[in-house]
Amino acid sequence: MERFDNIPEIALDWHRAGKGAVLATVVQTWGSAPRRVGSQLAISGAGEIEGSVSGGCVEGAVVVEAMEALEDGAPRMLEFGVSDGDAFAVGLACGGTIRVLVEPVGSVMPADMLADLVAARDQRTPIAYVVDTETGARRLTRDEFPDRFRMDRSGFEEDGTTFVAVHNPPLRMLVVGAVHIAQALVPMARILGYDPVLIDPRESFGSQARFPGETILNDWPDEGVQAYGLDSRTALVLLTHDPKLDDPALEQAMGSDVFYIGALGSSRTHAKRVERLRAKGFSDDQIARIHGPVGLDIGSASPAEIALSILAECTQVLRQG
């Protein structure tokens, strides 16, 4: 999982500052390409660069093409074969080939469209930038390509001319209950590309001593989840199995777009949880969104193994729906 970058934002800032800006995007790869499809490099008219489209071996050539594109106001489709020598230099075992779309902002990529893309990213709204490489038509969409959004997969459609660049917000995991499992879950979630947030009103549990450097909210869970928001790129994991702490957060989550809700506890604990939620008027469909007992059944014994099972289930739900 690549971290959320700010390449479109930088390009928009350069354009607005009057420097000129070009966005170069990896649109196709074969073999061992250094960066995945959708990776971007921003180039300013002053020759500044941010981001990358390879491991450094083709950036120079892309910058030259970008400067020319900025001058003539036309897009470029570039293709680079990464030779074995270059491949070893960027830490790859074998060569690959990449195609890079070069688009000057303003003359090719409309500045208003880039501004709308940046606004959607700022609001944590999943959005896709779609280019017809044959006609030059460009648009933004939120409602098409559900599989691409689910898989974080930019690329060409089957027609070979429609390129879809998926801009998904970073994944986030709200963990209620700063318990032993959380001590394993939080660092593991970070490795998988999540921004984890711990919520526990008990300061002796949710402390920097137990979770050095982590974001910790010593709030009641319903207030904590409200503060961060519950959207389609957020997972909620409840680890306290204390109804006073879990239930208020659960009630918030069931009316939200979170993609995953997991709650710790035995089958008996979960059955009681279901009864409480039914009594409060939640529907069976809403209650069925809760994964309880939490995690895939892999025979987990230790807190770390339970954390692994939670992240495996979370990944399964994210990618397979």
User: pLDDT tens, position by position, for the chain (321 residues)?
Assistant: 344 589 999 999 999 999 999 999 999 988 777 788 999 999 999 999 999 888 777 888 899 999 999 999 999 999 887 654 554 454 444 567 889 999 999 999 999 999 999 999 999 999 999 999 999 999 999 999 999 998 899 999 999 999 999 999 999 999 999 999 999 999 999 999 899 999 999 999 999 999 999 999 999 888 888 888 888 899 999 999 888 888 999 999 988 989 999 999 999 999 999 999 999 999 999 999 999 999 999 999 999 999 999 999 999 999 887
187 with 219, same domain: the answer is yes
Residue 1 covered by a domain: no
pLDDT number for residue 31: 77
Last residue of a domain, one of 146, 167, 188: 167
Main-chain dihedrals φ then ψ at residue 305, nearest 5 degrees:
-70, -35
The token duo for 114 is: 């880039």
Report the C-alpha gap between 239 and 177 in whole angstroms: 5
Last residue of a domain, one of 167, 187, 211: 167
Say if CB 96 and CB 53 are below 8 A apart.
no
pLDDT number for residue 95: 60
Report the C-alpha gap between 227 and 215 in whole angstroms: 13
**CATH number for the domain including 188?**
3.40.50.720
**How far is residue 206 from each of residues 179, 189, 210, 215, 280, measured CA to CA in Å?**
8, 17, 7, 10, 29
Residue among 104, 88, 105 nearest 96 (CA): 88
Say if CB 22 and CB 100 are below 8 A apart.
no
151 with 217, same domain: the answer is no
134 with 211, same domain: the answer is no
Range of the structural domain that residue 288 is part of: 171-320
Residues 142, 146, 152: CA angle, nearest 5 degrees: 90
Say if CB 110 and CB 137 are below 8 A apart.
no
149 with 193, same domain: the answer is no
Residue 199 covered by a domain: yes
63 with 159, same domain: the answer is yes
First to last CA, the chain: 18
Split into its structural domains, the chain has a count of 2
Q: Please state, as a whole number, how many other Cβ atoms lie within 10 Å of the Cβ of residue 85.
A: 9
Cα 149 to chain centroid distance, Å, stands at 10
Residue 147 covered by a domain: yes
22 with 93, same domain: the answer is yes
38 with 138, same domain: the answer is yes
The token duo for 15 is: 């354009």
Task: Tell the burial category of 53 from Cβ atoms under 10 Å away from its Cβ (0-12, 13-18, 19+).
Answer: buried
138 with 236, same domain: the answer is no
pLDDT number for residue 83: 59
110 with 249, same domain: the answer is no
Instruction: Give the 3-state secondary structure of residue 3.
Output: coil
Residue 2 covered by a domain: no
Residue 113 covered by a domain: yes
Residue 139 covered by a domain: yes
Length of the chain in residues, anyone? 321
The token duo for 44 is: 């300013």
pLDDT number for residue 94: 53
70 with 210, same domain: the answer is no
Question: Which residues partner with 140 through β-bridges?
Answer: 129
Last residue of a domain, one of 167, 184, 214: 167
39 with 159, same domain: the answer is yes
Say if CB 170 and CB 233 are below 8 A apart.
yes
279 with 178, same domain: the answer is yes
pLDDT number for residue 1: 34
pLDDT number for residue 157: 96
Report the C-alpha gap between 122 and 48 in whole angstroms: 23
